[in-house]
């Protein structure tokens, strides 16, 4: 009796070979390793409709017969019969993913040129149909010169037909090997064949394919992503201005109204200087927060965000992180707390720790008020090259500085404290969709509400406490109230530490309450200057931006911005890091390295700006 014939399942990764193998062999499987490598060898018994039993082998996925990985090498060697004691397969079953036909046909042609009796399983036709793509197996069979059977491995559809086709292929003799086409020619032919096999394709599917070809292109893709982000930051300034001005006018009117309505008293000062000047100065950033989130939510809902993650994967890999870290890091642009909690989905513990440690470097939305108030005061509202707003450009630069900082820190950490190999990235790309306005509106409302609640609770409380600390003890005649106050004393002490990086007392004073919430830096400055203005009508009338312009120099303002790019402000982030890392070691490390970075960055910015004569 002749030996049992061998049938091998071969094709690109994720075509469904293992699913077909399981469906065809059921429980009759043997799992071992290929000699010399840890690649799994799966074989099983399969009885053809003719009654002949054959040995079915499931091969690792490959893109071609020129191996680039151990898995691919096994596949190439098995097909060529180069493993000792393992004869080459007599029949090939090439498994193609119907929803990815063009790409999979490239390897298929290389396999067909071997001249072996071959059958093609056009698998995953269910997914193709779901995406609006109907394929004609007969046309494909004619183009390729071998039987093509449509299958859905996971639903056992087409398995009988596949068995029949294998049985009749078993009757054929192997032909001579054909000359292999070059890789480019194979690609061109694959494109033509895939086109010919398409019976119908919804215009939507065509559009999606075109969009992906463009948006995921190796270098057009990142450029488009950069351009989109750039537009976002321009819009945050340009579109928000009228709304912010409106809100500012309302806050101003409220201030004047209360000033006029209440008799002169400590209570009136608390309401006007503390609550209205302080909380009001943060509230006016609502339009900018809403615009930023409108873009983020729209990118998520449209399916673009997952593509951005895919594009970023390459960049993340270059610093030793995986694309898995992208989503937590992206959420950190809203707030580091949900970002750090989202790292639970990262399986590799060192990957996860690194992501947690760099999450605070992503510019959270609480920093936006600080950035914008300083930028609006010190960066002229002019344009670069006639079209690009300078203010938006600076804001964009601050976000980029945070991301670059995170990449560098990540790289250093992955080489030292969290050393280890990077893990791979697998992610399903969702379909493109037009975002639904209702969902967007709900999402925006939630974000706005979170912001308003912060303003009403934590920012309100910190501002009131600060106002009290700024007003007591009362200054003697001729002495500045701020200098005489408790808060002023603390700030004067701290000012010694931050003087080398160009910070004045008011800036030092703003840093402490900002540990509760970063926006408070803005409200503390507003309250401090309101208290400092005292009864001076002219000073009182000045808006916060004008106050800053009078009291700060440009290098000081830039140093303050640089500080906020890196500083570990916000105690909740530290608390959540302690919870997620189960101890104080990493939060303390985080606190220390972020303070050090902030100090260095602010100092360097200050001295460079001074040297440049700004």
Query: Using CB under 6 A as the criterion, which residues of the chain lie in contact with ligand GTP when the complex forms?
Result: 13-19, 60-61, 123-124, 126-127, 152-154
Q: CA dihedral defined by 63, 69, 74, 80, rounded to 10 degrees?
A: 60
Residue 124 partner contact from Mg ion, ligand GTP, none using kind-dependent CB cut-offs of 5 to 8 Å: ligand GTP
Residue number, 18 or 463, with CB nearest to Mg ion: 18
Instruction: Return d(Cα 449, Cα 265) in angstroms, integer.
Output: 33
Residue number, 16 or 274, with CB nearest to ligand GTP: 16
Binders in 419-478 for Mg ion, by CB under 5 A: none
Residue number, 124 or 271, with CB nearest to ligand GTP: 124
605 and 405 in contact (C-beta within 8 Å)?
A: no
Residue 66 three-state SS:
coil
Q: CA dihedral defined by 412, 415, 417, 422, rounded to 10 degrees?
A: 110
Residue number, 6 or 17, with CB nearest to ligand GTP: 17
Instruction: Return d(Cα 559, Cα 578) in angstroms, integer.
Output: 29
Residue number, 126 or 580, with CB nearest to ligand GTP: 126
Least separation in angstroms between CB 164 and Mg ion? 24
Least separation in angstroms between CB 427 and Mg ion? 19
Q: Could you say which of 12, 18, 322, 418 contacts Mg ion (CB under 5 A)?
A: 18
Element (H, E) at 58: strand 53-58
Residue number, 76 or 468, with CB nearest to ligand GTP: 76
Least separation in angstroms between CB 369 and ligand GTP? 46
Cβ-based neighbours of 246, under 8 Å, separated by 6 or more = none
Residue number, 98 or 409, with CB nearest to Mg ion: 98
Phi, psi of 55 (to 5 degrees): -95, 120
Least separation in angstroms between CB 126 and Mg ion? 18
Cβ-based neighbours of 10, under 8 Å, separated by 6 or more = 17, 59, 62, 75, 79, 92, 93, 94, 95, 111
- C-alpha distance across the termini of the chain, in Å: 92
- Site for Mg ion (CB under 5 A): how many residues? 2
| Region of 15-23, 79-87, 360-368, 442-450 interacting with Mg ion (CB under 5 A) | 15-23
Q: Does 123 bind Mg ion (CB under 5 A)?
A: no
Least separation in angstroms between CB 68 and Mg ion? 17
Least separation in angstroms between CB 157 and ligand GTP? 8
Residue 515 partner contact from Mg ion, ligand GTP, none using kind-dependent CB cut-offs of 5 to 8 Å: none
Least separation in angstroms between CB 100 and ligand GTP? 11
Residue 366, number of CB atoms within 10 A of its CB:
26
Residue 573 partner contact from Mg ion, ligand GTP, none using kind-dependent CB cut-offs of 5 to 8 Å: none
Instruction: Return d(Cα 278, Cα 531) in angstroms, integer.
Output: 11
- Enumerate helices (H) and strands (E) in the chain, giving the number of each: 30, 11
Residue number, 74 or 232, with CB nearest to Mg ion: 74
Instruction: Point out the residue whose Cβ comes nearest to ligand GTP.
Output: 61
Query: Cα 535 to chain center, whole Å?
Result: 50
Least separation in angstroms between CB 67 and Mg ion? 16
Residue number, 131 or 256, with CB nearest to ligand GTP: 131
Least separation in angstroms between CB 118 and ligand GTP? 17
Phi, psi of 367 (to 5 degrees): -80, -20
Nearest to 196 by CA among 244, 231, 144: 144
Residue number, 18 or 25, with CB nearest to ligand GTP: 18
Instruction: Point out the residue whose Cβ comes nearest to Mg ion.
Output: 18
Least separation in angstroms between CB 162 and ligand GTP? 12
Residue 126 partner contact from Mg ion, ligand GTP, none using kind-dependent CB cut-offs of 5 to 8 Å: ligand GTP
Torsion sign over Cα 447, 453, 456, 458: negative
Cβ-based neighbours of 374, under 8 Å, separated by 6 or more = 548, 557, 560, 561
| Region of 17-25, 201-209, 327-335, 373-381 interacting with Mg ion (CB under 5 A) | 17-25
Instruction: Return d(Cα 7, Cα 16) in angstroms, integer.
Output: 16
Interaction site with Mg ion (CB under 5 A): 17-18
């Amino acid at each position: 009796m002749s030996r049992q014939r061998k049938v091998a399942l071969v094709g690109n990764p994720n075509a469904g070979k293992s699913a077909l193998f399981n469906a065809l062999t059921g429980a009759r499987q043997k799992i071992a390793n290929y000699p010399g490598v840890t690649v799994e060898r799966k074989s099983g018994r399969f009885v053809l409709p003719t009654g002949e039993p054959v040995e079915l082998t499931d091969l690792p996925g490959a893109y071609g017969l020129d191996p680039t990985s151990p898995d691919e090498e096994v596949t190439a060697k098995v097909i060529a019969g180069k493993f000792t004691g393992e004869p080459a397969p007599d029949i090939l079953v090439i498994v193609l993913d119907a929803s990815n036909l063009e790409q999979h046909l490239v390897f298929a042609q290389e396999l067909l040129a071997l001249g072996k009796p071959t059958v093609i399983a056009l698998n995953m036709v269910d997914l193709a149909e779901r995406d609006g793509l109907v394929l004609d197996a007969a046309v494909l069979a004619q183009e390729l010169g071998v039987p093509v059977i449509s299958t859905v491995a996971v639903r056992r559809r087409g398995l009988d037909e596949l068995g029949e086709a294998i049985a009749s292929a078993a009757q054929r003799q192997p032909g001579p090997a054909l000359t292999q086409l070059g890789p480019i020619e194979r690609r061109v032919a694959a494109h033509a064949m895939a086109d010919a096999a398409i019976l119908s394709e919804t215009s939507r599917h065509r559009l999606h394919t075109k969009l992906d070809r463009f948006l995921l292109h190796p270098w057009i893709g990142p450029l488009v992503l950069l351009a989109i982000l750039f537009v976002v930051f321009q819009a945050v300034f340009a579109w928000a201005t009228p709304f912010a001005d409106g809100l500012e006018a309302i806050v101003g009117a409220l201030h004047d109204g209360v000033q006029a309505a209440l008799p002169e008293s400590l209570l009136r000062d608390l309401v006007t200087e503390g609550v209205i000047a302080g909380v009001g100065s943060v509230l006016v950033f609502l339009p900018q927060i809403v615009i930023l989130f409108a873009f983020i939510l729209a990118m998520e809902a449209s399916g673009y965000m997952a593509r951005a993650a895919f594009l970023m994967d390459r960049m993340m890999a270059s610093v030793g992180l995986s694309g898995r870290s992208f989503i937590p890091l992206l959420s950190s642009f809203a707030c580091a707390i949900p970002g750090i909690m989202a790292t639970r989905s990262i399986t590799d513990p060192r990957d996860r720790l690194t992501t947690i440690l760099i999450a605070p470097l992503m510019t959270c939305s609480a920093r936006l008020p600080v950035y914008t108030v300083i930028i609006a005061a010190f960066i002229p509202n002019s344009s670069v090259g006639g079209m690009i707003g300078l203010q938006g450009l600076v804001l964009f630069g601050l976000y980029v500085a945070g991301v670059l900082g995170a990449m560098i820190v990540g790289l250093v950490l992955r080489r030292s404290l969290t050393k280890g190999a990077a893990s791979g990235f697998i992610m399903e790309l969702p379909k493109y969709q037009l975002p639904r306005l209702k969902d967007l509106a709900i999402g925006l409302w939630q974000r706005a509400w979170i912001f308003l609640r912060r303003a009403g609770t934590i920012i309100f409380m910190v501002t009131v406490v600060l106002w009290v600390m700024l007003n007591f003890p009362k200054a003697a005649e001729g002495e500045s109230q701020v200098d005489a106050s408790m808060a002023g004393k603390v700030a004067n002490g701290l000012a010694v530490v931050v003087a080398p990086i160009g910070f004045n007392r008011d800036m030092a004073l703003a840093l402490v309450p900002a540990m509760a919430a970063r926006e408070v830096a803005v409200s503390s400055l507003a309250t401090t200057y309101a208290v400092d203005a005292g009864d001076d009508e002219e000073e009182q009338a000045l808006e916060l931006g004008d106050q800053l312009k009078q009291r700060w120099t440009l290098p000081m303002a830039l140093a303050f911005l640089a500080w906020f790019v890196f500083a570990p402000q916000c105690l909740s982030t530290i608390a959540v890091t302690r919870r997620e890392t189960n101890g104080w070691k990493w939060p303390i490390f985080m606190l220390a390295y972020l303070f050090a970075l902030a100090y260095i960055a602010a100092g360097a910015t200050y001295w460079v700006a001074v040297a440049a004569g700004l």
